[in-house]
Structure 1
Amino acid sequence: MNRIVVGIDASEHARRALEWAFAEAELRGAELELVHAYLRPEVAYVPGMVVTDIASDSELQAAARELVEEMVGKIVPRPTVPYEVTVQAGGAAGVLCGRAADADLAVVGARGLGGFRGLLLGSVSQQVVTHSLCPVVVVVPERRHHD
């Protein structure tokens, strides 16, 4: 079966990428892997000080899973495409490229800034396009045409 890996965060460009990926997966008869990467908070050690408000990995993963499931629910209330959610610590581009190493396609969103700036991808999408071992689709916002 075909496998499409999609990078997900809480952004509007990730939402567009997710919409596109669900539609493409349905056309291809593919399954989706929705990947959310997070960075562990750095903890500085100070003798005699106890830090208690740093979330554990399991708390961060649970919150990220909830975020992804909420996004899926808003986009596709009753998904017919099989999908799994992967939440992994690390930089977004590295995690996504790693998960997509044996995928048929990787999908990322772009900010779509327009003009000269629009020619430049964001750092994550640029790194995924540059380093992915599989084809990559970069989903950009629809262009607005002025009358």
Structure 2
Amino acid sequence: MESTVQRVELDGGVAVGVDGSPSSLRALEVAAHEAGLRSGALHVVRAWSMRTAPRPADCPPGAVPSMDAYQQSVDESTEKIVQEHLGDPPPVPIQRHIVHSPSPQALLSASRGADLLVVGHRGRGGFAGLLLGSVAEQCVRHAACPVLVVRPTI
């Protein structure tokens, strides 16, 4: 795994934000379908911070993992999510983009090169009274490409 990445650079395809929440998993499925319709790649974007990243399994208790170890742990977790929800092999070519960045910034950077950005309606954050989650709202307002906001299935 290469060193910590802080932004996403794409050249076409469908980008999707994934954080493991039910709405992001539904967004992943919809984005894979859209990528298939367009005969393009699916770019799975997962933003992380030390607070949100899964702790690397090989890090002993009391030790602080390196940024690269966190990056690898998030990548492995994301690969597992993709395999569980899209199958192995997946129905479309997939590239994972593991980004040490707040979610809106990671997704907006991906939108600069994507043909379509797909986001879930509700992720891990947000307030119950908001019509859209803050990440989805920022993407709708500021993305450089069309945005598809997906609700989880009920």
**Unaligned 5+ runs, structure 2:** 1-10, 52-61
Candidates 63, 67, 83, aligned match of 2:73: 63
Percent identity over the alignment?
38
**1:17-51: CA deviations, max 9, x gaps?**
0001111111110101111111245xxxxxxxxxx
Looking at CA atoms only, which structure, 1 or 2, has the larger radius of gyration?
1
Letter in 1 for 2:152: P
**Matched residues in 2 for 1:75 and 1:142: separation?**
14
Please state whether the residue corresponding to 1:107 is helix, strand or coil.
strand
Please state whether the residue corresponding to 2:29 is helix, strand or coil.
helix
Equivalent residue number for residue 82 of structure 1: 93
Whether the 8 Å CA contact 2:32–2:91 is kept in 1: the answer is no
TM-score where L is the length of structure 1: 0.79
1:141: Cα distance to partner?
Answer: 2.4
**Matched residues in 2 for 1:76 and 1:141: separation?**
16
**Unaligned 5+ runs, structure 1:** 42-51
User: How large is the Cα RMSD of the aligned pairs?
Assistant: 2.1
Candidates 9, 15, 19, aligned match of 1:5: 15
1:2: Cα distance to partner?
Answer: 4.5
Candidates 72, 85, 91, aligned match of 2:102: 91
Candidates 127, 134, 138, aligned match of 1:123: 134
Candidates 8, 26, 30, aligned match of 1:20: 30
Equivalent residue number for residue 111 of structure 2: 100
**Matched residues in 1 for 2:29 and 2:100: separation?**
24
Structure 1 segments of 4+ aligned residues over 3 angstroms from their partners:
none
Please state whether the residue corresponding to 2:108 is helix, strand or coil.
helix
**Matched residues in 1 for 2:14 and 2:43: separation?**
6
Letter in 2 for 1:121: L
Letter in 2 for 1:99: A
Equivalent residue number for residue 44 of structure 2: 34
